[in-house]
A and B are shown apart, each in its own frame.
Chain A
Amino acid sequence: MSDRPITHEVLPLIEGLLDGTIGDTGFARLETILLVSTEARALYRSYTNLHAALPGIVGHAPRLSIQITDVGSGPASLEPHEVANDQLMQFLTQVEDQGEDLDPMALATERFSTSQNPSSAKREYLSALMYLYQHYVKPHIVWTAASAAALLLCAVLAIVFLTDGGPPEIAEGPEALDLTPMFPSPDPHRVVATVTDQVNAQWVTANGEGALPDRMLLAINQRLTLVQGFAKITTMRGATVLLQAPATIETTDNANAIRLLRGRLVGRCETPGSKGFVVHTPNARIIDVGTEFGVAVSKLGETVASVFEGEVELTGMTNGQASTDGLSVRAGQFKRVDPTGMRVDDADPLSIAFVRGQDFDLLSDSANALTYDRWLAQSMEIRRDPSAVLYYTFDNEDQSPHRLINQAAGTPGSFDGQINGPTWADGRLPGKRALRFRATGLRDRLGQHVEVLGSRSDALDFPKQSFSVAAWFKFGDAEEGLKNFMPIITRGDESWRLQSFEDQEKVTWDVDSEGLQKDHNVTSRSEPFDGEWRFVVAVVEADPESNHTTHRLYVDGQRETTYQLDQKRLETSSPVMLGANSDQVDHRFDGLLDEVIIFGRALTDEEISAMYELNYQWKE
């Protein structure tokens, strides 16, 4: 598991495949990775090996039930699936003939009691039951004897399987016999796309505001605005569009195109038929040639196209006519079309973050997921945030017990944290991990701490720029005398410190050697020495027009204090540390640290509140 990016991406896909929960997009991605990566194939083999071996270890080995009467008499003539399918067809024919006079139990007993492959027969039989349910029970609101018998039989079989060790594929069975049309539209020629997945989605359409039903069909020239959440739209030709709010789209009369009027989307060609998928914006046209790409339309009317894989053709458009030559945009490139559609140039790659397929799948999973998985979904967004410079998730104990891995996508391989003393402990959510710091040891040297490697240089300086520092922490039971200046995250005395303040049991954000608390007070109102997990954020916002910076401190999502002061030089050669201050060896943290993030921008009130609220809702 040395190649972290591959492992991180491929492992959830492998798990989805083994669980049967993987989607078409995920499977296609897995195939691609397996094709090109030796390491991914090795990991895949190990996981399937584990999967195959577990039944024999935790219980019983796979059961085979075909009776072999003579292994020495040539090839086996049994075709169990043919036998089972043949029986199934007879069964269904009889069901069709008998309708409501059906006695499923008697019929099933008759048909399957002599099956040569009971396992397969059970599966097929369950499928048949679901067929019965769909075609006879469900359509009839009246509670008939047949429907009661069918449901009773389902219950009986469930008990039989529980005690009999039958095959575990029952729940997936109905799909094989689901004859419901995928697009049951009275006018299928007008349908050009379908809303295929939604995550907390709220819409504004011509019919009003609210949630849309699953598998909502979209006719031509239909306008929708996604005001909240995420949604996946699949065109009739198979291209997928991942929308993230806020965004407004419009279908066209082309089943392989969509119009983005505002906001962001990620497009991907899912099928051969979707090659050439087109995204129209007010001032540009993006033609996909088999790839994954992002398109954003800003409030100012600019279009930004970003290619993740493959290539697209980008053309500036004015009044519906091409106003520039088609430009080939390749993987990793960001291009911007100005509002007039006349000019195309490079865009800032850090200016925009897209939610891609894997992220969307995680978000989608999180709708009904455990607390940990919801956190993971949010965490994926932070990892992708191009402004995240340092991001410790504290979830890499298995891979690297002595080092916190920096998960920020924008700074890969930099700013890992060297763990010196703290030990792994349970984090703030079930399944989440943290580091426990003890305020012990000699006072003439640093106590337990984590040093951010590479931070002694100017790499983490933000000269005259905005930045934010966020951390989840829980103070421990340190002695009273030790509660002064317990460092949460610091950069020496010459730069900045997020730490406890005096004996007031508060949190403070200090800048430069004097400390803001001397003349200025960026100190929390709340007193977080209560043994609870707390979320603290310090924001420094530089005003490019003046010589001032605004400092804001938040506890648990709420802005507690704000102070404006002259811009100060915060550059230093002191390292960034968790749980210690390199310039104050006797200052030490006692308690738990969970998640630590440094953003190279000023977070807004809304963002900080949302980060906390999501976590608060997850408390179990």
Chain B
Amino acid sequence: MFPFIASHSRMNQPSSNPDRDQTYERFTSLLVTHQPTILGFIRTLLPQSPDIEDLLQKTCLVAWQKFDQFDPATKFSTWACQIAYFEVKNYMRTKARDRHLFSDEVLDQLAEETPRDADRLAAERAALHKCVEKLVPDERDLLAQAYTTGTTIRDIAGMLGRSANSLYKQLNRIRRRLYSCITKHLEQGGSA
């Protein structure tokens, strides 16, 4: 479930403004549909940032505040990514001294191309579901630990009695296989 909605109590409150409720429902519907694209976009620009979730949340808030400016004839994901881009730029100004932030040139290129790539990326996400199912249980468990338990790779490595480095490598191999599977899946028209 999308956390913006989960944390918002308005949906359960009686409303005195039906038009506004309708607008809100349209907004949340679009947001639910395009949240993975926006999240992926922010992650693309700030791959190492621990503040992705905060930036997503801010983007959603600003998008809601400016929703009356959204042209329904255009793509919501592109519009929302533009908002996210400004949020990322603002964020980067406060983090100028952090290591491994992309230069403006790289950032601009990625920001320009990523929304145009949204359909392909969405297809890849859909294929990813199928590809994850093909992993053996141990690999799925490892991914689940790495991505959802809130522990670091070092923590998991400690629990498993392995080095963090070896775990990074194993995760990379799994991701490579997933990527390869996604590519094959899409090459075969999504039927793999």
| Partner-B contacts on A (CB < 8 A) | 1, 11-12, 15, 17-22, 24, 27, 31, 34-35, 41-42, 44-72, 74-76, 80-81, 117, 119-120, 123, 158, 161-162, 164-172, 365, 368-370, 372-373, 398-399, 431
Contact = CB atoms under 8 A, between A and B. Distances in A.
A71 B10 contact: yes
Nearest to A69: B9
5 contacts: A15-B168, A46-B179, A47-B179, A49-B124, A69-B9
B188 to A, nearest CB: 14
Contact of B128 (A53, A63, A169): A53
A35 B105 CA distance: 7
Chain B facing A: main interface SS = helix
B176 A167 contact: no
A19 B169 CA distance: 10
Contacts of B177: 398
B33 interface: no
Nearest to A18: B47
Given A76-B61, A398-B177, A34 B110 contact: yes
A interface SS class: helix
Interface of B: 1-4, 7-10, 20, 24, 36, 39-40, 43-44, 47-48, 50-54, 56-58, 61-62, 64-65, 94, 99-100, 102-103, 105-106, 109-110, 113-114, 117, 121, 124-125, 128-129, 132, 140, 143-144, 147-155, 163, 165-166, 168-173, 175-180, 182-183
Contacts of B4: 64, 68
Given A15-B175, A35-B109, A66 B155 contact: no
A431 B166 CA distance: 12
Contacts of B61: 68, 71, 75-76
B150 A166 contact: yes
A370 B180 CA distance: 22
A17 B53 contact: no
A29 to B, nearest CB: 12
Contacts of B121: 45-46, 49
Contact of B113 (A41, A62, A76, A372): A41
A158 B124 contact: no
A333 B133 CA distance: 50
Contacts of A54: 128, 132, 143, 147
B152 A59 contact: no
A20 B47 CA distance: 9
Contacts of A64: 3-4, 7, 53-54, 56-57
A468 to B, nearest CB: 30
A487 to B, nearest CB: 32
A162 B150 contact: yes
Given A57-B132, A64-B56, A161-B150, A431 B173 contact: yes
Contacts of A57: 128-129, 132
B110 A63 contact: no
A4 to B, nearest CB: 13
B44 A370 contact: no
A5 B1 CA distance: 40
A72 B148 CA distance: 32
A50 B152 contact: no
Contacts of A55: 147-148
B149 to A, nearest CB: 6
Contacts of B114: 45
A373 B169 contact: yes
B47 to A, nearest CB: 5
A201 to B, nearest CB: 18
Nearest to B166: A370
Contact of A171 (B48, B152, B173): B152
